[in-house]
């Protein structure tokens, strides 16, 4: 079997998520003819959208937030010509709601120097005593100190420390944890602060505290995720003579004369190529390897990575629930609320909100009725006027393996993009990006693998 335009592909990319599509499009930009193989009938992987048949609304498989510091992601969207489908805040501003409806906003005021703006933002952080606000500065100082040291080894030392112990060592109060650090860490790391590695919280805080006003801005797509990047990437690839094949599951990798030389598909076909970028989650990668290769410590370590779920509920009402585009729910059963009006286009009936819970192991087991009940309880508690709104429709999405669990000690299990097998490159949000498992990590890894392929051929 052959690749795009009836010829043998110059590179194969396995997996059509952010990692695979960013790798494939960077290669195509440099004139490499790629064959992209995706097992499912659609692209997008863990970040995709579809039209909900009951409401006609475009829904994502869970609300995705972007940050101004997602530099590789913005470069990828620029390549596709779809960067204008992402809306970034002018400056960081995160509302938090208390039971009863009081809103306080964590914002960075516009001051000439970013560190003054950060200082002012932290010193005005709502709901904390002066002493606790001064305590926040200790974390900011530690992040700055850590970044001066800036050696990966320093971050590795923190891999054995949980986020909550690290915050305790920096004298943070229970209230500062509850109102700021824990919601931030849980959302960014998709793991409970007691279990999550501090080594992965540090880069998040580094961007927030040191990344400049542009880097800390939050962004949301104005369209569904599939329209933001997956469909434009397929179009980009096909327009450059590459091929995107759906329902094409890779069953195994082909190894010849000590290098990866192509793939076997589950329909029995064999596709040779000089380079293969595998951009699938760790479990699926291990299934593709021969037992001999899978037993190499480089690969076998990956089997110890655990996963963590995210549960989202979309609710459509007859009237508006809140004007806030997003908000943290302090002490809520759900962690965040997003107002659908402000987000994904595609119209749709009614006024929608999405509630999100990260590291949602308990919610994964809960019944549909109990999740709807918990969502309505929260809305009634945090937005009392919502008691008068009529619920028209609800949709629950349980992503059981939303990301790898960023547990204490997990950094050491994440593999590098270059593997011991020549010709085989690994991409994906779970590889050794030094970041939590995010879109930006996925795209960084995809771009890095594409550069490896180009560099090995002397065309980078």
Residues that bind ligand FAD (CB under 6 A): 14-20, 37-40, 45-47, 61-62, 64-65, 249-250, 279-281, 284, 310, 312, 399, 402-403, 428-429, 437-440, 442
Dist. CA 445–CA 17, nearest whole Å: 12
- Closest contact distance (angstroms) between CB of 13 and ligand FAD is 9
- Closest contact distance (angstroms) between CB of 266 and ligand FAD is 8
- For tokens 């290098």, the residue is 259
Helices then strands, each counted (H, E), the chain: 18, 20
Pick 198 or 244: Cβ nearer ligand FAD: 244
- Closest contact distance (angstroms) between CB of 264 and ligand FAD is 10
CA-based angle 156:162:165, to the nearest 5?
120
Around 228, how many Cα atoms within 13 Å sit in the side-chain half-sphere?
34
* 3-class DSSP assignment, residue 38: coil
- The residue length of the chain stands at 460
Cβ–Cβ under 8 Å, residues 340 and 353? yes
Dist. CA 94–CA 117, nearest whole Å: 15
* 3-class DSSP assignment, residue 119: helix
- Closest contact distance (angstroms) between CB of 442 and ligand FAD is 4
* Alpha helices, DSSP H, located in 335-415: 361-365, 368-382
- Closest contact distance (angstroms) between CB of 171 and ligand FAD is 30
- Closest contact distance (angstroms) between CB of 250 and ligand FAD is 4
Dist. CA 360–CA 366, nearest whole Å: 10
- Closest contact distance (angstroms) between CB of 441 and ligand FAD is 6
Dist. CA 402–CA 46, nearest whole Å: 7
Cβ–Cβ under 8 Å, residues 329 and 378? yes
Pick 46 or 240: Cβ nearer ligand FAD: 46
């Amino acid at each position: 079997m052959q690749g795009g335009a009836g010829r043998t592909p110059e590179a194969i990319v396995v997996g059509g998520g952010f990692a695979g599509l960013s790798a494939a499009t960077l290669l195509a930009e440099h004139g490499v003819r790629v064959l992209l193989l995706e097992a499912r009938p659609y692209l997008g992987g863990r970040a995709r959208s579809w039209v909900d048949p009951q409401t006609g609304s475009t829904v994502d498989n869970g609300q995705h937030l972007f940050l101004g510091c997602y530099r590789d992601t913005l470069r990828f969207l620029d390549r596709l010509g779809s960067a204008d489908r992402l809306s970034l805040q002018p400056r960081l501003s995160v509302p938090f709601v208390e039971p009863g409806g009081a809103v306080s906003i964590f914002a960075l005021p516009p001051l000439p120097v970013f560190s003054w703006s950060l200082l002012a933002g932290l010193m005005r952080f709502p709901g904390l005593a002066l002493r606790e606000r001064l305590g926040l500065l200790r974390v900011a100082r530690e992040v700055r100190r850590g970044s001066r040291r800036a050696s990966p080894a320093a971050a590795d030392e923190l891999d054995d420390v949980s986020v909550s112990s690290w915050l305790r060592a920096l004298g943070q109060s229970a209230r500062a944890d509850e109102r700021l650090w824990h919601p931030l860490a849980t959302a960014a790391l998709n793991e409970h602060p007691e279990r999550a590695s501090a080594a992965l919280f540090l880069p998040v805080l580094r961007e927030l505290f040191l990344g400049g006003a542009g880097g800390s801005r939050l962004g949301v797509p104005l369209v569904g995720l599939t329209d933001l990047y997956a469909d434009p990437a397929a179009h980009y690839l096909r327009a450059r003579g590459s091929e995107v094949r759906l329902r094409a599951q890779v069953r195994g990798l082909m190894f010849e004369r000590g290098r990866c030389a192509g793939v076997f598909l589950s329909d029995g076909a064999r596709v040779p190529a000089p380079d293969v970028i595998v951009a699938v989650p760790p479990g699926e990668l291990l299934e593709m390897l021969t037992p001999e290769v899978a037993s190499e410590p480089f690969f076998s370590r990956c089997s110890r990575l655990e996963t963590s779920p995210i549960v989202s509920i979309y609710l459509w009402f007859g009237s508006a629930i809140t004007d806030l585009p997003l908000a943290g729910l302090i002490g809520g059963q759900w962690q965040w609320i997003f107002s659908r009006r402000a987000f994904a286009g595609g119209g749709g009936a009614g006024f929608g909100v999405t509630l999100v819970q990260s590291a949602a192991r308990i919610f994964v087991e809960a019944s549909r009725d109990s999740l709807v009940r918990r969502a309505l309880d929260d809305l009634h508690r945090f937005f009392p006027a919502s008691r008068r709104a009529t619920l028209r429709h609800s949709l629950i999405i349980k992503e059981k393996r939303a990301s790898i669990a960023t547990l204490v000690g997990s950094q050491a299990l994440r593999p590098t993009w270059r593997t011991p097998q020549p010709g085989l490159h690994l991409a994906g949000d779970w590889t050794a990006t030094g970041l939590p498992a995010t879109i930006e990590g996925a795209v960084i890894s995809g771009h890095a693998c594409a550069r490896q392929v180009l560099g090995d051929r002397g065309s980078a």
